[in-house]
Amino acid sequence: MKYKCICDNSDLIECINLGSIPLVNNFKKTYQPKKYPLSMGICKKCMLFQIQKNINPKLMFNNYAHISSGSKSNVSHIKKVFKKISRIKKINNRTKILEIGCNDGTLLEIAQKKTKNVVGVDPAKNLMSKIKKNYLELIPDFFNKKNGEYLKSKYKQFDVIVALNVIPHTINVKEILGQVGKLLSDDGIFFMEGAYFFDTIYKGKFDTIYHEHVSSFTLHSLKNLLNKSKMKIHFAERIPTQGGSIRVIAKKKSSSQQWKKIYRNEKSKNVGKISTYKKAGKLIERIIFKINKNFQKLSASEKVVLLGAPARGVVISHVCNIDQKKIDFAIDDSKTKYNTFFPGKKFKVYNWEKLNKSECKNFFILSWNYKKDLLKKLKKYKKNFNLMVPFPQPKISKLN
């Protein structure tokens, strides 16, 4: 079957096939067995690496389980993001800020201490309904042409537009960036972050591949999309969030060459060749085998507790066919996930207090990108335990 690209090209070349998995944020009070095919392909025209068969966004985002304030590390990151924005663009009480994908309003709350001219857009009605209404406006909907035109007619332009881990989640990337280009003031900045192909999938970190993550960006593919929206890359850097992300700041006018170093590095890695993306698929197969082997060893004598129930963890558990009978339960920081079934599995997610009633000493850390924070918490409940991590390399450690 041929799948259509975001750029309207009619042929995507399949490079990675992970079988079928459930929707990764579908945490419900009842068991949810449904799964959907998951594969990624590369477009020869725009070189954007993307999901081949997309799911209706309303199924994934209208009632969302992940919250920005769910971990101290993420809140700390968002605070640093706003400081970065403030260094590049002076924020005062006249500055107009738009956040696309504002989630539970963590960034909005930080921004409104500097300016009340703040607008948030997000389709997760369960989260938007709980945000304090002390902003210009909150729009509980997807950001698209309709809402872009509405914002244009009401507020004219924005000085700062932010999209943290949002653009890679969208099917209509071209439409969204087109509206961002129209809403951005002449000297404004568009600040975005998203999982970076060369720090995630290219290195075998397949846990960033799921239906919500429609695209895995390179700077090359982003440059193409931004240019079509009459924006230019002004700044780019690789950051550690999401297991490896890229932060890009775009402007309508810029002569900056700072981002060219990453751009040249991508060329040296053959960013424009299909073989580069297929090579990543082969590496992923080897890593899946290693994770399976380690889990069998970890779970040989007793059940395992999962540390974290993130989207990436749902991917790992299903792609690696982790036997649900060998899992006792999962622990997570997000209150929206408490006492719900882990997507596609028949065990539940609880808060940390559950460990007080458990004698389990085997732990598989699915939120491996927050390993340091989770280990601190775990040591409050357990003194001697076995810990398995899937990335950067699958490994089991005995910790005292």
- Average pLDDT of 129-140? 88
Query: Residue 181: what pLDDT?
Result: 97
Q: Which residues pair with 41 in a beta bridge?
A: 14, 50
- Distance in angstroms (rounded) separating the CA atoms of residues 194 and 238: 10
**Confidence bin at 238 (pLDDT 50/70/90):** very high
- pLDDT of residue 25 exceeding 80: yes
- Average pLDDT of 165-177? 93
- The 10s digit of each residue's pLDDT in 178-193 is 999 999 999 999 999 9
Looking at 46-117, which runs of residues are DSSP E strands? 49-51, 97-100
How far CA 40 is from CA of 125, 166, 344, in Å, comes to 29, 18, 21
Residue 64 token pair: 């969302």
The three-point CA angle 295-34-317 to 5° equals: 15
**Confidence bin at 139 (pLDDT 50/70/90):** very high
Query: Residue 169: what pLDDT?
Result: 92
Query: Residue 326: what pLDDT?
Result: 97
**Confidence bin at 34 (pLDDT 50/70/90):** very high
Element holding 223 (H helix, E strand): helix 219-228
- Average pLDDT of 251-269? 97
- The 10s digit of each residue's pLDDT in 105-128 is 999 999 999 999 999 999 999 999
- The 10s digit of each residue's pLDDT in 50-67 is 999 999 999 889 888 888
Handedness of CA 156, 160, 164, 169 (dihedral sign): positive
- Distance in angstroms (rounded) separating the CA atoms of residues 391 and 287: 9
Answer CATH for 40-275 from 3.40.50.150, 3.40.50.300, 3.20.20.480, 1.20.210.10: 3.40.50.150
- Distance in angstroms (rounded) separating the CA atoms of residues 357 and 162: 43
**Confidence bin at 1 (pLDDT 50/70/90):** low
How far CA 322 is from CA of 73, 207, 252, in Å, comes to 28, 14, 48
- pLDDT of residue 5 exceeding 80: no
Q: Is 395 helix (H, G, I), strand (E, B) or coil?
A: strand
Given a contact cutoff of 8 angstroms between Cβ atoms, the answer to whether 322 and 331 are in contact is no
- pLDDT of residue 2 exceeding 70: no
- Per DSSP, 55 falls in state P
- Distance in angstroms (rounded) separating the CA atoms of residues 48 and 168: 11
Query: Residue 28: what pLDDT?
Result: 94
Q: Is 294 helix (H, G, I), strand (E, B) or coil?
A: helix
- Supply the pTM of this predicted model: 0.89
- Per DSSP, 54 falls in state P
- pLDDT of residue 290 exceeding 80: yes
**Confidence bin at 399 (pLDDT 50/70/90):** confident
- Average pLDDT of 193-200? 96
